[in-house]
């Protein structure tokens, strides 16, 4: 606990080293990512926790290649890559379901892009939809469904990209507390069964603690890794567990200073 | 739904009654303003004549509209993909709108003759603008996060176009079509006025010269029915092309 930028050589699914990014603003430049180094092992569930506006989403955009970084190295399976384009699946707070597609057509977007929807993909989609409680809604349009159901469909679509690494950018941020807790439960179940490597961005301390193996805490903008916390609590975790409460205190302390920086 | 039809119908009936009464009351000569009953009689007597000219005008509008649609959507797609084309064409397309179609109608008749083609060009010219502008706006208006989602999947430019941009542009394209089809009659009628041997515009001009004012009104009624039907045809197409649209509107 508290080790800065720890790495696990030889065993990393995804690793970022000294990622830097600034954006031009009013003639000068605004540093958003100062120095981000982190690593994720195969099948690990990692959360990135930081005050809002700290550049977490920029980090993901850099990783997927939507934003060019100024410096730093990204490696996937211990090989240096230009970016994660094509190697990662990405899910946002917005469900981004296409209103003109039925739910089934929406979740099959990934297979469709990468060369045709086969019977196999279709049955896998139906199986996953059953699992997240969307069976019977395959033919419905997104407009007919609740936010929670739409986000579940977005999760299924993300899984059906068939990538080992999932980047989840505050995927449940727009949901009410009850729906969010259902979604967390579903996500955890799917992660355990599919053994995906997950990197979750959140500003919700409890969410990070409930789900992750390890948590990286970021500083306020410009973002750097402030610290790393391992969560060695057996799952399923309860927010009332003593060790849970302890770790929550630790994380909140780490964040507190950063939140003060944001408002100063 | 019933009220949507009921209220304007009541208004229309009252207006027609008032018109009829005024004509009788003031003994207005029929070559100035015919009574509605006289127009009704003309509608019945001249049915086949009116129908013949209506079909001519319909043909001009349909062909002109389709031509404008293909060219308009095509140009919008090209402008979207090649910014240099947008920079060159867009100001000209906008600028061309300041030229009234009336002003160039005689030229078009000179170049394309008295037949179908000059009216088709005229209708197409007037329909073209709303379709180009709306389609381009629609293509640009696609949610950038949705486009990025496809980029992350390593989708090709074509896949992004067909799977995101075109479907999100559809409502805009249909808005353009609705405006276009409403003004298309103007193009066709002007073309017929300037030089033709057939069509409702020709018929009106001809009737005017012979002081058959009730025939003008009868033509106008046919023209209105034609225009409204075409508009609702586009609305029907819109609904069947975008079944999801009604769901989101219902919410």
Chain segment A176-185, per-residue pLDDT in tens: 999 899 999 9
**How many alpha carbons fall within 13 Å on the CB side of residue B8?**
4
Asked whether residue B188 is domain-assigned, the answer is yes
- For B210, the token pair is 């012979």
- For B240, the token pair is 């069947």
**Residue of chain A with shortest Cα separation from B142:** A98
Query: Which residues 6+ apart lie within 8 Å of B5 measured at CB?
Result: none
pLDDT tens for each residue of A122-152: 999 999 999 999 999 999 999 999 999 999 9
Q: For position A206, what pLDDT does the model report?
A: 94
Asked whether residue B158 is domain-assigned, the answer is yes
Residue A143 to residue B248, Cβ atoms within 8 A:
yes
pLDDT tens for each residue of A73-119: 999 999 999 998 888 999 998 999 999 999 999 999 999 998 877 88
CATH of the domain at B59: 1.10.3720.10
Interface of A with B in 86-145 (CB under 8 A): 86, 88-90, 92, 94, 96, 98-101, 109-110, 112-114, 141-144
- Give B172's pLDDT tier (boundaries 50, 70, 90): very high
Residue A92 to residue B151, Cβ atoms within 8 A:
no
Mean pLDDT of A162-182: 91
Asked whether residue B123 is domain-assigned, the answer is yes
Give the domain range for residue B157. 48-240
Numbered residues of chain B with Cβ closer than 8 Å to any chain A Cβ: 143, 145-146, 148-155, 159, 163-164, 167, 170, 242-244, 247-248, 251
Please name the residue that has the structure tokens 């992660």. A191
Cα B5 from chain centroid? 22
pLDDT tens for each residue of A3-60: 444 444 557 899 999 999 999 988 888 889 999 999 999 999 999 998 877 788 899 9
Asked whether residue B222 is domain-assigned, the answer is yes
Asked whether residue B20 is domain-assigned, the answer is no
Q: For position A8, what pLDDT does the model report?
A: 47
- So what's the ipTM on this one? 0.86
- Please name each of the domains of chain A with its CATH number: 1-87+166-176+197-264 (3.40.50.300), 92-162 (no CATH)
Asked whether residue B84 is domain-assigned, the answer is yes
Summary mean pLDDT of chain B: 93
Asked whether residue B37 is domain-assigned, the answer is no
Question: How many angstroms separate the CA atoms of B119 and B185, rounded?
Answer: 10
Asked whether residue B40 is domain-assigned, the answer is no
Give me the number of domains chain B comprises.
1
φ/ψ of residue A46, rounded to 5:
-115, 140
- Asked if the peptide bond before residue A222 counts as cis, ω within 30 degrees of 0, the response is yes
Q: Supply the pTM of this predicted model.
A: 0.84
pLDDT tens for each residue of B122-159: 999 999 999 999 999 999 999 999 999 999 988 999 99
Q: For position B249, what pLDDT does the model report?
A: 63
């Amino acid at each position: 606990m508290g080790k800065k930028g720890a790495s696990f050589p030889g065993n990393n699914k995804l690793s970022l080293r000294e990622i830097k990014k600034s954006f031009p603003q009013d003639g000068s430049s605004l540093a958003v990512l100062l120095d981000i180094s982190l690593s994720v092992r195969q099948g690990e569930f990692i959360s990135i926790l930081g005050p809002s506006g700290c550049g977490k989403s920029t980090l993901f955009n850099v990783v997927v290649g939507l934003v060019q970084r100024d410096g730093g190295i990204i490696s996937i399976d211990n090989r240096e890559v230009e970016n994660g384009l094509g190697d990662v699946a990405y899910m946002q707070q917005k469900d981004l379901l296409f209103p003109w597609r039925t739910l089934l057509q929406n979740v099959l977007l990934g297979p469709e892009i990468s060369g045709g929807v086969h019977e196999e993909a279709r049955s896998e989609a139906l199986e996953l939809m059953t699992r997240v409680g969307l069976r019977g809604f395959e033919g419905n349009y997104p407009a007919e469904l609740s936010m929670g159901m739409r986000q579940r469909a977005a999760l299924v679509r993300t899984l059906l990209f068939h990538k080992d690494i999932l980047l989840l950018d505050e995927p449940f941020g727009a949901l009410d507390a009850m729906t969010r807790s259902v979604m967390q439960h579903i996500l955890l179940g799917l992660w355990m069964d599919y053994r995906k490597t997950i990197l979750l961005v959140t500003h919700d301390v409890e969410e990070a603690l409930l789900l992750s193996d390890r948590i990286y805490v970021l500083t306020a903008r410009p973002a750097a890794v402030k610290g790393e916390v391992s969560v060695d609590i057996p799952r399923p975790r309860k927010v009332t567990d003593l060790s849970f409460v302890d770790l929550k205190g630790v994380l909140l302390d780490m964040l507190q200073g950063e939140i003060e920086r944001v408002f100063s | 739904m019933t009220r949507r039809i009921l209220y304007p119908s009541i208004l229309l009936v009252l207006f027609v009654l008032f018109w009829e009464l005024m004509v009788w009351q003031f003994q207005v000569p029929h070559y100035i303003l015919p009574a509605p009953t006289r127009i009704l009689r003309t509608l019945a007597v001249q049915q086949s004549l009116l129908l013949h000219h209506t079909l001519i005008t319909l043909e001009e509008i349909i062909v002109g509209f389709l031509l404008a649609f293909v060219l308009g959507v095509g140009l919008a797609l090209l402008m979207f993909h090649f910014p240099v084309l947008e920079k060159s064409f867009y100001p000209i397309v906008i600028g061309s709108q300041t030229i009234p179609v009336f002003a160039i109608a005689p030229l078009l008749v000179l170049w394309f003759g008295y037949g179908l083609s000059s009216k088709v060009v005229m209708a197409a010219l007037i329909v073209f603008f709303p379709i180009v502008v709306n389609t381009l706006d629609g293509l640009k208006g696609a949610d950038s996060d949705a486009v990025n989602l496809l980029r992350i999947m390593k989708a090709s430019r074509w896949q992004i176009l067909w799977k995101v941009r075109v479907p999100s542009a559809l409502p805009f394209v249909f808005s353009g079509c609705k405006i276009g089809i409403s003004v298309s009659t103007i193009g066709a009628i002007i073309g017929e006025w300037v030089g033709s041997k057939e069509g409702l515009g020709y018929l009106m001009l001809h009737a005017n010269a012979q002081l058959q004012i009730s025939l003008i009104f009868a033509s106008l009624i046919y023209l209105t029915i034609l225009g409204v039907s075409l508009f609702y045809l586009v609305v029907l197409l819109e609904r069947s092309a975008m079944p999801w649209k009604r769901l989101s509107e219902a919410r």
